[in-house]
Chains A and B, each alone.
Chain A
Amino acid sequence: MKDILSLFFAYAKSGLKSRFQYRLDAIVATLAVFLREAGGIIAMYLALLKFDTINDWNIDELLFLFSLIFITYGIFIVFFMALRDFPDWIRHGDFDRVMLRPRGLLTQLVLCGADWLAALGHGTLGIVLFVISANRVGIQWNFAMAVYYVVAVISGVLIQGAVFLFFSAISFYVVETGRLKGIFYWNMRKFAIYPLSIYNKIIQSILIFVMPFAFVNYFPAQFFLRKPDMAAYPEWMMYISPVVGVTLYLLAYSFWLFSLRFYKSTGN
């Protein structure tokens, strides 16, 4: 453990040091992420002002729903950035280096890929959104709720991590996985910013069973908000995010281990 921690600090230090050699670049990049995403939220906010509510969710509740996506994504890119960009790691030969070094493959990918500055951009926005919306929707915080929230965020990170670990494993077979990710992750993410109940059965099923964003934000948000549209789903769905996260992650990890044997170093 101590060993992994010292490696973690070595990577974090070198990553940040190198980013801050170009200090202005680093600041602009962080700010750009923040502004780009904030711009998206403002656009959504303005659009929502036209409606009072969507399926009985008011604007603050919608922002609370949204904040879960941002916070989990902010943490996700600290740990899974390398998996997000994994095809590049293979194509440019960086994965050879990872294979040659005497440390766990995922340990290295996780530690080396961490993008602290982008995470800062996303994470800050998520926290700002969370603080504002959680306050305005009037959650009465207690210890159990705080624990639930932390567990839900970790589960959300694991679910998204599992999806990207799965896509990374696919890159051992096919070079181009960007489009798959576009369809399954980024498009579904756009759906996930609104309450699950507004969609038809097909999209709902995808968000629950295929690309389970519902367990990243909708069901955890329902635990706090208890909106009437929850009646359409079994109540236990609010509690299984950790199970979904851990199960998916283990499945994806097994698939990754299996697929590794198909790795073919680039060149020649």
Chain B
Amino acid sequence: MSEADNKNKEINEFLNKSYEYGFTTEIESETIPPGLDEAVVTLISKKKKEPEFLLNWRLKAFNHWKKMPKPDWAKLSIDPIDYQAISYFSKPKQDGGPRSLDEVDPKLLETYEKLGIPLHERAKLAGVAVDAVFDSVSVVTTFKDKLAEAGVIFCSFSEAAIDYPELIEKYLGTVVPIKDNYFAALNSAVFSDGTFVYIPKDVRCPMELSTYFRINEAKTGQFERTLIIAEEGSYVSYLEGCTAPMRDENQLHAAVVELIAHKDAEIKYSTVQNWYPGDEDGKGGIYNFVTKRGDCKGENSKISWTQIETGSSITWKYPSCILRGDNSTGEFHSIALTNNLQQADTGTKMIRLGKDTKSKIISKGISAKSSQNTYRGQVTMAKGAKNARNFTQCDSLLIGSDAGAHTFPSIDVMNSSSILEHEATTSKIADEQLFYCMQRGISEEDAIGLIVSGFCKEVLNELPMEFAVEARALLQVNLEGAIG
């Protein structure tokens, strides 16, 4: 074997081992046949025993979606998606809903163990309460009792629709309306489950809340819906993580997340997204088309998004803030890493309506091999947004010479007292940086990891401690084989 072949073999080994969540779980599932029409939407709602208003809302969304054109403005090349070939509902077979861990299929628990997510309350994952969504439905939520003591509601969306219909009816679709965009409309029609969080007035949520999403079944889509409401003076920190098996076909993930922060409330929302990115030839992988938006409704409210996007074959998401309340704050901290043939088009929108509002955008894009990484941001200062301030820092790091980094910032200012700053850099991992590290005894792979984590430091610092360690490891794993 020639040296080049050997090197290729090594790289392939790295790549093959690099996605360690690619297993599937053999579990009996109830999956409805592929296809999408009114009957399917109705069936989903009936299966979940939803109140009437929710079914009507879904149907309204579906009928609108049918008329919408597919968006094509992103800098992405997407193979056409056959929406009739997707199954819109799949759940592990189990009688009734899960009410406690003892009732959960041991195979499911095993899956989450493999993912490194201990669901058993006795495992006490540093006091983090976990909700786990497997394919379409929420499997189990931990620490419910302890949270209930504080008055915090943390449950699957399906449960919330039955137990707290008035809250759902009041808030659902108020931040991301059904007509917002193509994928949001689709999600509104067919969403299967997700997470619901409610923090009452003046309550500081006693632990980190966390949801793990897992797509297991083939030919299914995952459409989860997350709704977080922070009442006046409350605080919550929420983290979501995502993985999926390795499959040759692309799978669609179209989620919607809505956050509502009332007066003096703060929501910190972190994402570690590690959906299967496809193989080195771009085969398979998750289409991650997500709409996330927060409404800083009350004065002095704060919403901060932190995202580590390492997976998915295509990522299309712009976690945004509407800064409605005076003196409210929106933040966006992002790391998007693409390798092989992955594409990411991600960024944020900061819509400033209130006076003295502040926003900060820190975006770090890393592109390796032939991947394409785009930052797209919009900062709007409305007429009434007097003395609003925005700071944007947008940095790109290229690894190798075939990768692409693109930046599309858009700024609209409609008053004369707002202040905007925008900084952007593009750099490349230089061979001399690698040589320097390797001369100090550090292997090339580790050197790339160190350089990248240095590049991402400001964003990693935003993550809760235990997840920052995980995120660093994830960046490293997803960069394996990036040079060769």
Do A and B truly interact? no
Q: Which residues of A contact B (CB under 8 A)?
A: none
Q: Which residues of B contact A (CB under 8 A)?
A: none
